[in-house]
Structure 1
């Protein structure tokens, strides 16, 4: 039986200060074997004093995240239970950046660290962390390329373990919670094709094409020609191979290209699936203008994007996501995106919220990762595997709690095109035309 006294009690008090709550929602086990906290709460083990030192230097989300990525904090059992408990406690339950501890709280943290032998210089961040500001001006083409490479050039084999055979890295659409991930991803791809009104002979632009899954589906099932653009060389290499293997190289053109550099419009339809989160608030107007200019009059744009549902957004560069997962990524509210799209000249045809579907998608990805954990670590690093586990599990909780959402916004450039002889397809009178 674990000791009832020892480091864990002091550790629990320190964690309570960081979380901004009197009681902690976790059962803590310290490096000396002692335990503290509710006996029926999810168990989290602090395997090293270094974890407390990280929290002392960065008393918030970043310090805790660094300790987890470094393997100094280890949730036992169901990781979703641990993150759900944390997300409902103190500062984690409040939208926005962590508030800074008071001088008195910092003094208490220092005394605790001294008493537990954890005081010392600030530990170096885990190697999986990026300081994206070193790559130039925010949302410059060079810095955007570096941000995309950090996230996506982790290795195609690693992503295949997590995403499964579909290689789709965006929210799936489930008929029921029991629907397989593969079926749900195919349903999403087909839904996008139907919303766009794809017909044989159309020319389609896929912005942020990933590993080419939408491009292949649209070309194979709907007989269209697709230009897919990505900033990830690893994604492009695999997407081209998949197109060649499927006999679609003549219909699918995959480019390593910034969306701002696409000049060979017009296109009859444009898909942007899980890409606009990388654009940034300051560049949103340019993004809308660029896609509007590339689209034929009467053509449709499908913008599929994560949204922030918890009030006004604040950029916090010292949080986990920008340091480890999506450098420079910005989640906008749905209303912000809609204002920009309409101001850019688009007509809104439909908005569909898919928030519960992303929670199911993320849980499926976490399952895939955990079932292939040893191989994922071999392909990347223990820290990288922990980064993905933390970000996907925590994101699933965010979608379940309603802090974040995901929406498909279907838009049209006003006017009728003549590129297909008989004009662009008519918009259905009801959603039943594509659902």
Structure 2
């Protein structure tokens, strides 16, 4: 009896193929067996049922592992940042949940009697969509998948600022150097980000400027521009949940005369003119093939000497969030990240003069760590709002993204462009000193 093989015995070849010979975290299985590293380890991956193997057999790779995690067949216990970093740092450079691991998963499933019908994908999964990529209808469906999950859930994660984009943690460190300072509160950091964008757009130079906020979220940037700089703001979003709450927040702040929130696509704004445009955390949904048309549309909405601030996640060489990936299926369907060089080139081809490019990569890592802390602190409130599966998705994707910004795999750039007049006048300050 004591020599009978355990679940750990069956899993060992699979883990070796996927992660290498020396595990960096502990693995514990539904029969009580486990595989443990030598010495201390940051956390434990718990394989709770045979369904974990079934998901991997039927969808080898990242999608199957994601399904196992979202369904609860796999879980992570411990500091999620340290667990993910440990897995990343110890896995062989060429390790993939590919063909070899798929065969190992099939062998383990056969040995454990886990073969059977294809498991149902978790309900939180985005299914393949009809229609052309980045058409209005398909974009609306993709945005709804991510943003229309409940305003109260986002309030728990984002905090009082209700701002779902990279903050700016400005402050001196222990040596007196200015930089991304983790001791700055998330609310203050989001306020500083909004203010920086307002200053870059020149809203302080002339009260009453007309600002378009593309992808306005829950209205925080629009409200800051109106209350601090007297701007007249139009905010557009294609998320109904965002629009409803943004309008309520604007009314509660007494800013209805200055801020208009529209449930509208940016492609429906033809014929209007603005002094400045902010696009914050929205460009990731535009797509490579539509980037030229996007900037041409925004260029057509700006008066001469008007400025555009494009604040977006970037990736060296670009990256498409494909449907077979965890983030493409569960987080940002149809999302794409462009190389910042391609962004600047597309803006210039559309008629903008690019005047400033600033990286806030380290600031986004701090922002995400704050969001994860908020979610973990409010876990017992969050799960009843959106379900355990979606809460698990958000915790994993935000933690993994934070590590991506920390190691440089992901970037965050603000690219500032201006529309010069016929003889090249841009109305821009000569240095960054104007906005700090």
TM-score where L is the length of structure 2: 0.92
> For residues 290-309 of structure 1, what are the structure 2 equivalents within 5 Å?
290-309=297-316
Deviations 1:27-82 (A, max 9, x none): 10011111113142331111111112212222221111111111111111111111
Contact (CA 8 Å) 2:209, 2:231: kept in 1 or not? yes
Contact (CA 8 Å) 1:224, 1:251: kept in 2 or not? yes
The CA distance in 2 between the partners of 1:386 and 1:364, in whole Å, is 16
Deviations 1:82-117 (A, max 9, x none): 1112233547x679xx57314xx5443322111122
Deviations 1:247-302 (A, max 9, x none): 11111010011111112421000000000000001111110100000011101000
Deviations 1:216-273 (A, max 9, x none): 0000000010000000011001111111111111110100111111124210000000
Greater alpha carbon shift after TM alignment, 68-77 vs 181-190? 68-77
- Name the residue aligned to 1:420: none
Structure 2 SS opposite 1:43: strand
- Name the residue aligned to 1:143: 138
The CA distance in 1 between the partners of 2:343 and 2:15, in whole Å, is 37
Question: Residues 425, 186 of structure 1: CA spacing in aligned structure 2 closer, same or farther, 3 A cutoff?
Answer: farther
> Is residue 244 of structure 1 aligned with residue 251 of structure 2?
yes
> For residues 310-325 of structure 1, what are the structure 2 equivalents within 5 Å?
311=317, 313=319, 316-325=322-331
Structure 1 SS opposite 2:78: coil
- Structure 2 unpaired stretches of 5+: 171-180
Structure 2 SS opposite 1:300: strand
Contact (CA 8 Å) 1:181, 1:364: kept in 2 or not? yes
Structure 1 SS opposite 2:160: coil
> Is residue 11 of structure 1 aligned with residue 11 of structure 2?
yes
> For residues 59-74 of structure 1, what are the structure 2 equivalents within 5 Å?
59-74=60-75
> Is residue 205 of structure 1 aligned with residue 212 of structure 2?
yes
- Structure 1 unpaired stretches of 5+: 418-423
The CA distance in 2 between the partners of 1:25 and 1:286, in whole Å, is 47
Contact (CA 8 Å) 1:172, 1:184: kept in 2 or not? yes
- Name the residue aligned to 1:36: 35
> Is residue 352 of structure 1 aligned with residue 358 of structure 2?
yes
Contact (CA 8 Å) 2:368, 2:402: kept in 1 or not? yes
- Name the residue aligned to 2:119: 123
Question: Residues 333, 425 of structure 1: CA spacing in aligned structure 2 closer, same or farther, 3 A cutoff?
Answer: closer
Question: Residues 12, 334 of structure 1: CA spacing in aligned structure 2 closer, same or farther, 3 A cutoff?
Answer: farther
Which of 277, 284, 298 is residue 277 of structure 1 equivalent to?
A: 284
> For residues 170-181 of structure 1, what are the structure 2 equivalents within 5 Å?
170-175=165-170, 176-181=181-186
Aligned-pair CA distance for 1:315: 5.2
Deviations 1:286-324 (A, max 9, x none): 101000000111010000000013x45355320011111
Aligned-pair CA distance for 1:416: 8.2
The CA distance in 1 between the partners of 2:212 and 2:105, in whole Å, is 54
Structure 1 SS opposite 2:162: coil
> Is residue 184 of structure 1 aligned with residue 189 of structure 2?
yes
The CA distance in 2 between the partners of 1:301 and 1:284, in whole Å, is 14
Contact (CA 8 Å) 2:321, 2:334: kept in 1 or not? no
The CA distance in 1 between the partners of 2:89 and 2:102, in whole Å, is 23
The CA distance in 2 between the partners of 1:266 and 1:380, in whole Å, is 39
Aligned-residue CA RMSD (Å): 2.1
- Name the residue aligned to 1:421: none
The CA distance in 2 between the partners of 1:252 and 1:285, in whole Å, is 28
Aligned-pair CA distance for 1:143: 0.5
The CA distance in 2 between the partners of 1:416 and 1:194, in whole Å, is 25
Structure 2 SS opposite 1:23: coil
- Name the residue aligned to 1:48: 49
Structure 2 SS opposite 1:403: coil
The CA distance in 1 between the partners of 2:238 and 2:256, in whole Å, is 19
- Name the residue aligned to 1:112: 108
Aligned-pair CA distance for 1:177: 1.1
Aligned-pair CA distance for 1:15: 2.8
Greater alpha carbon shift after TM alignment, 117-126 vs 238-247? 117-126
Aligned-pair CA distance for 1:382: 0.7
Contact (CA 8 Å) 2:169, 2:189: kept in 1 or not? yes
Deviations 1:143-164 (A, max 9, x none): 0000111110011111000000
> Is residue 88 of structure 1 aligned with residue 95 of structure 2?
no
Deviations 1:394-421 (A, max 9, x none): 111111111001001111011289xxxx
Structure 2 SS opposite 1:414: coil
